[in-house]
Amino acid sequence: MKPKHQRLAFIAVSMVFLSVAVLFTLQAFRDNIVFFYSPSDLEAKQPTPGRVMRLGGLVEAGSLVKGENQTITFTVTDGKASIAVDYTGMVPNLFREGQGVVAQGVLVDAGHFHATTILAKHDETYMPREVVDALKKSGRWKGDAMEKPGQ
């Protein structure tokens, strides 16, 4: 075999190994990525139920219902769409109606989200960047006075 053919064979084999490595890496990322959705995004994109995701928006006023065994239900809204959320566990101290929330869990069906984690906020005026972006996109953002550095 000529040296030119050896180089071409080496390059071809290297490309195959590189492609396999990239595929394995992408597969690992796909299993671990958690996407963020607002209620409007869920309505528009209709992701498949059962996939882990994050839902963000405002806790709708009058929707928070506390049940037994630390179970709560509430509605998350972005001003255009709303979705019912249920959660069992301790919630952050600053969790209340009218405040921003990011809930991680699974979409049960088109109108129901089961949260496994309610993400805590840093203080009463902090709101995660994804929630701010979703509220700005829906036109419900009340101004940049609430924004903290880094948002």
The answer to whether the beta carbons of residues 107 and 50 sit under 8 Å apart is: yes
- Would you state the pLDDT for residue 125? 61
Share of the chain above pLDDT 90, in %: 31
Single out the residue of 104, 139, 132, 101 nearest to residue 34, CA to CA: 104
Q: How confident is the model at residue 23 (pLDDT cuts 50, 70, 90)?
A: very high
pLDDT of residue 8: 92
CA 11: distance to chain centroid? 41
Q: Using pLDDT thresholds of 50, 70 and 90, give the confidence band for residue 76.
A: very high
Whole-prediction pTM value? 0.65
pLDDT digits (tens, 9 = 90+) for 95-141: 888 888 899 999 998 889 999 999 855 555 666 777 788 778 877 77
- Give the angle subtended at the CA of 108 by the CAs of 103 and 111, to the nearest 5°: 85
Non-local (6+) Cβ contacts of 81 within 8 A are: 38, 39, 40, 42, 43
Question: Which one-letter DSSP state was computed for residue 58?
Answer: E
Confidence category of residue 87, pLDDT binned at 50, 70, 90: very high
**What average pLDDT does the segment 77-96 reach?**
89
Average pLDDT over the chain, rounded to an integer: 83
Number of H helices, E strands in the chain: 3, 7
